[in-house]
Structure 1
């Protein structure tokens, strides 16, 4: 057994032992580490509203941009069957947004979603989308001419595919 395989087995063993200790509680930070290995499979349960990430940015002068969808569908091409890193990265990011939506739904009464790792990671995704560094290093706000950015904000909206209707699930505070 090589060293990498040994480390992976040890990782899963450690996670399983910690989950076993708290058998009555399946929620917690240890379960989050398991989710890194498994995608969100809820899309197989039928057509239902899906969470989408929107961002907007504020210029130094104080003006806000319009809300923009961060990961719109890219046009499909035949060669994407063999090599498709941009869409694979976008799917990974969308999976993280899906996990945040699940965490929002499972949030206990009185808990703050901003303490969850998924919220912090999606906040960083929104920041990258505004400033650049996501999807081929193109900023979502690059096409806007609002000047230098001073703040940003993100929303999670539930949208039914093919519909213009969306329901606000979460709106972040203004982030700098």
Structure 2
């Protein structure tokens, strides 16, 4: 392996790391209520969030991939869009996991800038995700699927509150 290959993979992994943290911080900036409710749901019942995410995420990703392998280009785009929306929902929900981790890493600036908790938790979770093999094949899928479940439950909780 030449130096160019080493640098290529180093910067690909670093780019993935920075972008995924940016999605988590962006989620807390755009939907702070959803991230907070996801954090609460992950604190109350992490296994329930995981199994709901597993039950929703895997079939939706499977359907999206089947559609993406379909005929016309418009239909393929629709399938890819389904898969990307599931991942986006998973990232929004896993921002709640980052917030949960960040709440354990207390800092004096947290009251003035609450998004710093998500950034710190995201740094920790991101480092766990980029760890070779274990992070790629276990931590990342579990975080995304748990995020799908937590985001769904957080969204459902917001609908219950608005209905009352």
- Superposition TM-score, scaled by structure 2 size: 0.30
- Structure (1/2) with the larger helix percentage: 2
- Structure (1/2) with the larger strand percentage: 1
Flag the structure with larger Rg: 1
